[in-house]
């Protein structure tokens, strides 16, 4: 499942990027986006439909799912009657169905599509795939265990006794529909609330991002399931959002089976009981004096231990609690981990707080949610990662380049450098084309099939190799400027300065004096390099470029964080930050260093400062 969800999230990243670019304050409406994401994931994981409502906002599945949820907000009287008079449920269902003759009911459209898929999957044995529908098709039960729902059928066929039976098509259709709607609406609304809280609480967003970056540093394309388990603060953020917004509280009703007394309150048999989750999850007895505050640290293990187990139950409780809990949590974690690596979220100018909520099947923001999505300089989408890999791996080839024979191209004028920036755009396009071509081929190969092949290691490997080859080609066949440009891009966490064309680091608050000196030396080297390129001193320039590139980028690994940031992010996230920084300062002070050049001679410092990987 994780690779399938990964695919959808990669598409989401592109849509966020494009959507934010198109708006003046980079704001995007995320509720609708997340609905499209969760719809795509659930359709892929549940019924094997290769679907992309993220790419196609007019998608019919999306339209009808939205229609179902909207109906639940427009006809609350019918749902209320259902709750008040549950024994008359067959009447309410008939009323609901009859309304179809007045107004088209989107549930029927979805039911028909599910039926088509299931009939087709049952008839065509070659369409097997590891999804939920397949499990239902394969399932076998004791006929007796279905007495309740199949009473008529089992009675009339009593001679069969304990024979096994499979699920009927109609049973599978109704389960599939339930999973589709439950999976589509709840997770997307939860994501919306989480992004709202993150944009309102920048310190939480920052801490969470640091944790994510420390476990999944730049260069990681796919997120492995095991890595997600290491993200504990991410868990706290999700749990706290589900505490503050128990959006599915309206579906936690139970019917009393035996009359009983609870704390003196008599509950007769057959009575419908509804847990008021909003009261429970804001109760100061469990959550302290300020339950309205968004504080993920409420879920620290020691605090959790002392709390009543039923004080938090956004997924319901007991044997009939949410059947999609694990899937929902997996998806929430993957989306947050990937999106926060690439974007910084802030409240949009048009946002009004508190959110205007509306009740339907779930409790959701009535007007969606607008947030501003700012792409981070270090954004590392799958494509970016491939680009960077190709840039970095090509370094082994640059050593072999005959720099001297490229004098002509090194004698570049200022306008050449500008052209080079444009050319780098075309390289980007080449790489984009590589990637898009690969996706298009994958899609067209599945065009007439409902089957979605999982991306194999091989296919990922192929596209990587293609990008690397492309990068090497650029360096060898074209000019060295393009090589330089690629090396520049290899240094992530930097901003490009158009005027000089060289990377300049963001100022860092936690940088030791020696590291500062190193930065200064770096920037001096860059200026010298640029000056020599501009003044066409070809012989010197060739040597300078070659030395500069080798010393600066030659040994960097694709998955490594830039040295300064690695140390900074690790240290800032670590609660031992002060101790770490102090001990490092002490080590630095005790070293006999005269210049930053000496630093590289000191193995201890190299080990501590320069070669540490964030994942180390
Ligand atoms: C953050 C996301 C989600 C929340 C907050 C949520 C919440 C709930 C709640 C409160 C219930 C009622 C439980 C009870 O009565 O005790 C429920 C039931 C259910 N949920 Fe979820 N859910 C989420 C995601 C999902 C997903 C992604 C799926 C499917 C893929 C799903 C499928 C179901 C199903 C099938 C039931 C009915 C279980 C039964 O009656 O036995 N849910 N959910």
Within this chain, do residues 477 and 600 fall inside the same structural domain, yes or no? no
Ligand 1: residue whose CA is nearest its atom 42: 324
Top-confidence residue, 330 or 561: 330
Mean residue pLDDT of the chain comes to: 70
Residue 41 has pLDDT above 70, yes or no: yes
Q: Measured in angstroms, how far is the CA atom of residue 390 from the centroid of ligand 1? A: 43
Q: Is the dihedral of CA 43, 30, 74, 328 positive or negative?
A: positive
Q: Measured in angstroms, how far is the CA atom of residue 536 from the centroid of ligand 1? A: 68
**Phi, psi of 260, deg, nearest 5:** -155, 170
Q: Which residues contact 287 (CB under 8 A, 6 or more apart)?
A: 243, 281, 298, 311
Q: Measured in angstroms, how far is the CA atom of residue 324 from the centroid of ligand 1? A: 5
Atom number, ligand 1, closest to the C-alpha of residue 248:
10
Contact call for residues 218 and 341 (beta carbons, < 8 A)? yes
The whole-number average pLDDT for the span 339-346 is 91
Top-confidence residue, 338 or 25: 338
Q: Which of 45, 238, 324, 333 to mutate to test the pocket of ligand 1 (most atoms within 8 A of CB)?
A: 324
Which residues sit with their C-beta closer than 6 Å to ligand 1?
A: 42, 178-179, 182-183, 186-187, 190, 247-248, 251-252, 314-317, 320-324, 327-328
Burial group, residue 608, by CB count within 10 angstroms (0-12, 13-18, 19+): middle
Angle subtended at Cα 247 by Cα 132 and Cα 10, rounded to the nearest 5 degrees: 55
Summarised one tens digit per residue, pLDDT across range 170-181 is 999 999 999 999
Distance CA 369, CA 33 (A): 10
> Among 55, 36, 13, 21, which residue's Cα sits nearest to residue 384?
13
| 501 Rama class: left (phi>0) / alpha (psi -120 to 50) / beta | left
Contact call for residues 118 and 139 (beta carbons, < 8 A)? no
Top-confidence residue, 211 or 103: 211
Ligand 1: residue whose CA is nearest its atom 27: 183
Give me the pLDDT at residue 479, please.
41
Within this chain, do residues 473 and 587 fall inside the same structural domain, yes or no? no
Residue 602 has pLDDT above 70, yes or no: no
Within this chain, do residues 554 and 612 fall inside the same structural domain, yes or no? no
Residue 216 has pLDDT above 70, yes or no: yes
How is the chain split among helix, strand and coil, in percent rounded to 5? 65, 5, 30
Give me the pLDDT at residue 371, please.
93
Ligand 1: residue whose CA is nearest its atom 17: 322
Residue 419 has pLDDT above 50, yes or no: no
Distance CA 200, CA 348 (A): 10
> Among 555, 556, 388, 408, which residue's Cα sits nearest to residue 478?
408
Strand 140-142 and strand 164-166: pairing? antiparallel
Strand 363-365 and strand 370-375: pairing? unpaired
**Phi, psi of 560, deg, nearest 5:** -80, 145
Q: DSSP letter at 403?
A: G
Ligand 1: residue whose CA is nearest its atom 40: 320
Task: Out of 3-17, 449-463, 488-502, 517-531, pick the least confident.
Answer: 488-502
ipTM of the complex: 0.98
Count of structural domains, the chain:
3
Within this chain, do residues 462 and 590 fall inside the same structural domain, yes or no? no
Any bridge partners for residue 141, and if so which?
165
Give me the pLDDT at residue 308, please.
93
Residue 353 has a CB neighbour count (10 Å cut-off) of: 8
Q: Token digits for 492?
A: 């992530």
Distance CA 223, CA 208 (A): 16
Residue 295 has pLDDT above 90, yes or no: yes
The whole-number average pLDDT for the span 439-454 is 44
Atom number, ligand 1, closest to the C-alpha of residue 246:
5
Q: Which of 249, 251, 281, 322 to mutate to test the pocket of ligand 1 (most atoms within 8 A of CB)?
A: 322
Residue 51 has pLDDT above 90, yes or no: no
Atom number, ligand 1, closest to the C-alpha of residue 327:
27
Most confident segment among 273-287, 347-361, 439-453, 506-520: 273-287
The whole-number average pLDDT for the span 584-593 is 58
pLDDT band for 448, please (50, 70, 90 cuts).
very low
Q: Tell me which residue range forms the domain holding 364.
A: 2-375
Of all residues in the chain, the percent with pLDDT exceeding 70 is: 55
H helical segments located in 456-512: 457-477, 480-490
CATH code where residue 75 lies:
1.10.630.10
Q: Measured in angstroms, how far is the CA atom of residue 111 from the centroid of ligand 1? A: 19
pLDDT band for 104, please (50, 70, 90 cuts).
confident
Distance CA 478, CA 206 (A): 41
Within this chain, do residues 355 and 403 fall inside the same structural domain, yes or no? no
Binding positions: 322
Distance of CA 494 to the CA centre of its chain: 23
Summarised one tens digit per residue, pLDDT across range 469-507 is 444 555 554 444 444 444 444 333 222 233 233 333 333
Ligand 1: residue whose CA is nearest its atom 3: 186
Summarised one tens digit per residue, pLDDT across range 425-436 is 343 444 445 555
Atom number, ligand 1, closest to the C-alpha of residue 318:
16
* DSSP code per residue over 544-580: HHHHHHHHHHTT--TTPPPHHHHHHHHHHHSTTHHHH
Within this chain, do residues 224 and 80 fall inside the same structural domain, yes or no? yes
Of the three residues 375, 390, 410, the one that is the final residue of a domain is: 375
Task: Out of 195-199, 215-219, 386-390, 528-532, pick the least confident.
Answer: 386-390
Of all residues in the chain, the percent with pLDDT exceeding 90 is: 31
Atom number, ligand 1, closest to the C-alpha of residue 38:
27
Within this chain, do residues 34 and 149 fall inside the same structural domain, yes or no? yes
Q: DSSP letter at 252?
A: -
Of the three residues 311, 342, 375, the one that is the final residue of a domain is: 375
Q: Measured in angstroms, how far is the CA atom of residue 525 from the centroid of ligand 1? A: 59
Atom number, ligand 1, closest to the C-alpha of residue 242:
5
Atom number, ligand 1, closest to the C-alpha of residue 251:
12
Within this chain, do residues 313 and 231 fall inside the same structural domain, yes or no? yes
Q: Measured in angstroms, how far is the CA atom of residue 36 from the centroid of ligand 1? A: 19
Placement of tokens 């259902």 in the chain:
82
Q: Measured in angstroms, how far is the CA atom of residue 315 from the centroid of ligand 1? A: 6
The whole-number average pLDDT for the span 356-380 is 84
Most confident segment among 128-132, 150-154, 541-545, 568-572: 128-132
Q: Measured in angstroms, how far is the CA atom of residue 331 from the centroid of ligand 1? A: 14
Within this chain, do residues 452 and 496 fall inside the same structural domain, yes or no? yes
Distance CA 40, CA 231 (A): 25
Residue 36 has a CB neighbour count (10 Å cut-off) of: 28
Task: Out of 68-77, 447-456, 549-558, 599-608, pick the least confident.
Answer: 447-456
Give me the pLDDT at residue 31, please.
95
Top-confidence residue, 305 or 397: 305
Within this chain, do residues 302 and 340 fall inside the same structural domain, yes or no? yes
Residue 331 has pLDDT above 60, yes or no: yes
Of the three residues 350, 375, 400, the one that is the final residue of a domain is: 375
Give me the pLDDT at residue 586, please.
61
Within this chain, do residues 129 and 31 fall inside the same structural domain, yes or no? yes
H helical segments located in 139-245: 147-156, 169-200, 202-215, 225-229, 232-244
Q: Measured in angstroms, how far is the CA atom of residue 320 from the centroid of ligand 1? A: 9
Binding positions for heme: 322
Give me the pLDDT at residue 417, please.
31
Residue 562 has pLDDT above 80, yes or no: no
Within this chain, do residues 257 and 158 fall inside the same structural domain, yes or no? yes
Ligand 1: residue whose CA is nearest its atom 25: 324
Q: Token digits for 253?
A: 């009703």
């Amino acid at each position: 499942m994780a690779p399938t969800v990964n695919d959808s999230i990669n598409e989401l990243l592109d849509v966020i990027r494009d959507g934010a670019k198109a708006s003046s304050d980079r704001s995007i409406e995320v509720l609708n986006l997340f609905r499209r994401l969760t719809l795509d994931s659930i359709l892929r994981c549940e019924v094997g439909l290769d679907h992309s409502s993220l790419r196609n906002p007019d998608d019919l599945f999306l339209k009808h799912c939205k229609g179902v949820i909207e109906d639940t907000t427009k006809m609350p009287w019918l749902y209320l009657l259902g709750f008040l008079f549950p024994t008359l449920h067959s009447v309410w269902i008939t009323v609901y169905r009859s309304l179809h003759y007045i107004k088209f009911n989107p549930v029927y459209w979805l039911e028909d599509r599910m039926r088509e898929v299931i009939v087709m999957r049952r008839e065509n044995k070659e369409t097997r795939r590891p999804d939920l529908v397949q499990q239902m098709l394969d399932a076998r039960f004791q006929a007796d265990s279905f007495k309740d729902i199949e009473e008529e059928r089992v009675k009339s066929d009593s001679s069969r006794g304990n024979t096994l039976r499979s699920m009927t098509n109609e049973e599978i259709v109704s389960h599939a529909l339930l999973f589709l709607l439950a999976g589509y609406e709840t997770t997307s609304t939860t994501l919306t609330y989480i992004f709202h809280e993150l944009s309102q609480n920048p310190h939480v967003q920052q801490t969470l991002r640091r944790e994510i970056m420390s476990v999944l540093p730049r260069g990681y394309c796919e997120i492995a399931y095991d890595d997600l388990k290491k993200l504990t603060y991410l868990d706290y953020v999700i749990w706290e959002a589900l505490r503050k917004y128990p959006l599915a509280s309206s579906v936690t009703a139970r019917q009393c089976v035996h009359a009983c007394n609870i704390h003196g309150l008599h509950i007769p048999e057959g009575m419908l009981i509804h847990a008021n989750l909003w009261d429970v999850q804001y109760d100061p007895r469990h959550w302290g004096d300020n339950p309205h505050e968004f504080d993920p640290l409420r879920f620290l293990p020691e605090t959790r231990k002392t709390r009543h187990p039923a004080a938090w139950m956004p997924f319901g409780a007991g044997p009939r609690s949410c059947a999609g809990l694990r899937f929902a949590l997996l998806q929430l974690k993957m989306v947050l981990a990937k999106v926060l690596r690439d974007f910084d979220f802030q409240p949009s100018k048009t946002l009004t707080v508190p959110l205007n909520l509306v009740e339907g099947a779930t409790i959701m923001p009535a007007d969606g949610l607008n947030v501003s999505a700012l792409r981070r300089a270090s954004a590392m989408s799958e494509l970016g990662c491939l680009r960077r890999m190709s840039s970095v791996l090509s370094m082994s080839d640059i050593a072999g380049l005959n720099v001297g024979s490229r004098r002509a191209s090194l004698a570049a004028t200022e306008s050449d450098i500008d052209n080079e920036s444009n050319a780098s755009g075309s390289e980007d396009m080449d790489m984009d084309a590589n990637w898009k071509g690969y996706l298009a081929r994958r899609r067209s190969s599945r065009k007439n099939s409902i089957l979605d092949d999982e991306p194999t290691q091989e296919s990922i490997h192929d596209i990587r190799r293609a990008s690397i080859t492309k990068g090497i080609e650029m360096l060898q066949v074209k000019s060295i400027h393009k090589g330089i440009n690629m090396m520049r891009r290899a240094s992530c966490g930097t901003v490009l300065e158009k005027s000089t064309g060289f990377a300049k680091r963001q100022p860092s608050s936690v940088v030791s004096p020696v590291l500062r000196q190193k930065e200064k030396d770096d920037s001096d080297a860059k200026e010298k390099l640029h000056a020599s390129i501009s003044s066409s001193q070809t012989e010197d320039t060739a040597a300078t470029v070659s030395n500069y590139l080798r010393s600066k980028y030659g040994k960097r690994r694709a998955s490594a964080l830039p040295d300064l940031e690695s140390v900074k992010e690790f240290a800032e996230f670590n609660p031992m930050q002060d101790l770490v920084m102090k001990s490092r300062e002490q080590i630095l002070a005790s070293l006999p260093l005269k210049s930053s050049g000496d630093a590289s001679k000191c193995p201890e410092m190299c080990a501590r400062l320069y070669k540490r990987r964030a994942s180390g």
